[in-house]
Chain A
Amino acid sequence: MRKIVAVFVMFLVVGSVALLSSCAPKQKTPSVIKFGAAVSLTGKYAREGKFYKDGYLLWEKKVNDSGGIKVNGKSYKVKVIIYDDESNPAKSQKLYEKLVTEDKVNFLVGPYSSGITIPDSSIAEKYKIPMIEGGGASGKIFSRGYKYIFGTLPAAGNYFKNTIEMLHMMTYSSNNSNKVTKVAIVHSDSAFDNAVANGAAHWVKAFGLRLTGVQEYPSGSNDLSSILTTIKKNNPDVILVAGHTHDALLFIRQAKENKVNAKLMAFTVGVQAVDFREALGKDADYMVGVTPWLPSMNFKGEVFGTAAEFAKTFKDAYGYSPDYHAASAVADALTFQHAIAKAGSLDPKKVRDAIASLDVQTMYGEIKFQANGQIAKGQAVIQVQNGKAYPVFPKQIAQKKLLYPAPSWDKR
């Protein structure tokens, strides 16, 4: 008898504790909107991963300091939960699954690199939680008919479009000295760089220039001398390189070693970054890059003010100047902020629809998405002149004239 009572009491205690604990979170309804991200804080993308983390957290602080986000008259604080994916796509996918199922985040912001974003976007689609990412531009992210993935980097296939258009205008203008006839493309075997190279090859032909060859190398290669020898053989006027920062640095150093002189060398990644220019010193001059964003561009939005003001806020917080990675990370979060306000709800489906039809001005420029979820923004062409990067094309935003042709290595 006593045993039965004891068991009964035990059940009662366990039951009431369980009841209490299940009630507890309900009592304080979350007045926090949770965002989740897995970025690379270690491994080969640690450098870029940090830009995204810093960008997301800067936005979080800015929003919370100014009173949070208002949804239907109720104020919410925001919180961004960030994990380290170790630059590993499989790990990243697991972390996003955890963010959705265990941390119960409301919305997702993206990782860095196309290779990692591709599997992660499937998580967003599977759970119907919108993800806005600023770290992957490969067309493969947006070509699968997904409804819940949005990207703030311009399409990979269009990375060199403006550069090639600029070359086209030089070639077909009246000025005879600046003709471009032959273009060579070099790219790494990553998903993103493949997409850039395919797009670039398309635009070279579309703009009436001649392609002398497309060469591919394994990501993270430590020797590009054979590619450079082939280039020397073909003697192109222009070399377009789609690879990560490491590859761009190595390419320039080895081009100089092998005395490969092109009139123009353009890179997808690197030229925008301060450490890239510092590592190369004077050799960085005349190098051309593309960027969706620079602090000097005349963009302006509600939360951070102008691009320059944003850059200052960022630098004050972290001690280094933001490049387009950090800016696009902040743009991801800003897009959510605008979309939530527009939807007047935290319902993932409603916010998703609000993102799809959004059209706002921000410190990152106009945020408006194409039907496939990728931003409808273009890339400005920039060139390093005396150690600083200036926009040189399109005309509306150019601050300097393109220096062309670049002098040969021995004349610098």
Chain B
Amino acid sequence: MFEFQVIINGLLLGGLYALMAIGMSLIWGVTNVINLAHGALIMLGAYTTFWLFKLLNIDPFVSLAISFTTLFVFGFLVQKYIINFVIRAKMFITLLLTFGLDILITNVAQTAWTSNFRQTSPAYSANGFSFGFITVPYVRLSAFIISIILVFALYIFLKKTKTGQAIRAVSQDIDAARLMGINVAKTFALTFAIGSGLAGVAGSMIGVLMPITPQMGGIFTLKSFVVALVGGLGTIFGPLVGGLFLGLAETLGSFHLGAKYADIIVFGILVLTLIVKPTGILGKNDE
């Protein structure tokens, strides 16, 4: 009985993890940049929704689109005017740069909005429906559904549209893509913009579920990193599979072994993945 509740909680948490990781996985897979500022972008998404709700009373689900657009533009500019200068450098350099961006964004947010705790609290937040002993919170279920919709939307975008195909081409072979007439710099900027926009959406949802502070991003960068790696880098469905897997492992492990082992379980899975199948659950083994 309680087992079911834990599994439901695990799946819902997994959906949230997937939502967080889609953007990071996309950027990583295409541009080979591990964006350590990903959590900071999630934080910006959370604040966008929070302020729109608090000041203009805009429902968090409506502001998803605004949050996506804001972060889309932000990500585009950051890639075009900052990251693009080192995009061809060694991964260590881009790591350092995004690490610096993370600190910068976090501290600007702290100066602007203080470190006070905030929460987007529409009337329905934390409410849910029950059947028998199982409860399912509305917002978590919505986040779960949104993350599935986004993964499929991304799939269609990358497979069917010209821009999407250009993104895939660039991720496979930059030089060949350039020879085919693809504007690589623009494609990178667009990829970064989409990834950031997705982080914004994740932030909007997280702000309704968890406390918002400028420092909230760190743990999300870490979790997204693990989810992206475990699910399989460069695969579209990787974040979803990795997210659900980790969400379930974390809640089931916490319930049976004790919550203090949650981190050990999550990072244990990461280490095991790197040893047994470094390309992740969905990754191909041929490289």
Contact = CB atoms under 8 A, between A and B. Distances in A.
Given A222-B223, A223-B251, A253 B126 contact: yes
Contact of B126 (A50, A223, A226, A256): A256
B9 A225 contact: yes
Interface stretch (A1-9, A244-252, A381-389): A244-252
A216 B259 contact: yes
A318 to B, nearest CB: 11
A44 B106 CA distance: 11
B219 A222 contact: yes
Nearest to B263: A218
A134 to B, nearest CB: 18
Contacts of B137: 257-258
B117 A220 contact: no
Given A225-B13, A225-B251, A276-B117, A246 B213 contact: yes
Contact of B255 (A43, A230, A273, A279): A230
Interface stretch (B107-115, B153-161, B179-187, B234-242): B107-115
B209 interface: yes
Which of B114, B223, B254, B258 counts the most A-chain CB atoms under 10 A from its CB? B254
Interface string A317-347: 0000000000000000000000000000000
Contacts of B216: 246
A42 B110 contact: yes
Nearest to B138: A257
B186 to A, nearest CB: 35
B262 interface: yes
A46 B215 contact: yes
A229 B118 contact: no
Contacts of B114: 47, 50
A50 B259 contact: no
B135 A44 contact: no
Nearest to A230: B255
A222 B121 contact: no
A233 interface: yes
B130 interface: yes
Interface in B77-129: 106-107, 110, 114-119, 121, 125-128
Contact of B5 (A218, A229, A249, A280): A229
Contacts, number: 122
Nearest to A274: B116
Contacts of A312: none
A224 B117 contact: no
Nearest to A270: B117
Contacts of A257: 126, 128, 135, 137, 140
A205 interface: no
Contacts of B118: 275, 278-279
Contact of A227 (B209, B223, B259): B259
B131 interface: no
Contact of B121 (A220, A258, A273, A280): A280
Interface in B236-287: 250-252, 254-255, 258-260, 262-263
A221 interface: yes
Contacts of B115: 46-47, 50
A330 B2 CA distance: 48
Contacts of A216: 258-260
Contacts of B209: 253
A259 B130 contact: yes
Given A42-B107, A257-B140, A218 B117 contact: no
A218 B140 CA distance: 22
Contacts of A279: 117-119, 121, 211-212
Contact of A232 (B2, B212, B260, B263): B2
Interface in A50-81: 50
A218 B215 contact: no
A189 interface: yes
A283 interface: yes
A299 interface: no
B9 A253 contact: no
Nearest to B130: A259
A218 B260 contact: yes
A257 B126 CA distance: 5
Contacts of B149: none
B6 interface: yes
B210 interface: yes
A330 to B, nearest CB: 20
Interface in A294-329: none
B116 A46 contact: no
A283 B211 CA distance: 14
A216 B258 CA distance: 7
A281 interface: yes
A229 B9 contact: yes
A226 B119 contact: no
B255 A253 contact: no
A226 B117 contact: no
Interface in A203-229: 215-218, 220-227, 229
Contact of A249 (B119, B130, B215): B119
B110 A226 contact: no
Given A216-B260, A253-B209, A47 B135 contact: no
A275 B260 contact: no
Nearest to A186: B259
A43 B215 contact: yes
Contacts of A224: 259
Nearest to B20: A222
B130 A246 contact: no
B117 A275 contact: yes
Contacts of B116: 47, 275
Interface string B191-204: 00000000000000
Contact of B259 (A46, A221, A254, A276): A221
17 contacts: A42-B106, A46-B215, A217-B254, A222-B220, A223-B250, A225-B9, A226-B251, A229-B2, A233-B2, A246-B117, A246-B216, A249-B210, A258-B135, A259-B128, A259-B135, A275-B116, A279-B121
Nearest 3 interchain pairs by C-beta: A47-B115, A226-B254, A275-B116
Given A46-B110, A258-B135, 16 more contacts: A42-B106, A46-B115, A46-B215, A47-B117, A47-B213, A217-B262, A218-B263, A222-B210, A222-B220, A226-B259, A226-B262, A246-B213, A257-B140, A259-B135, A279-B118, A283-B121
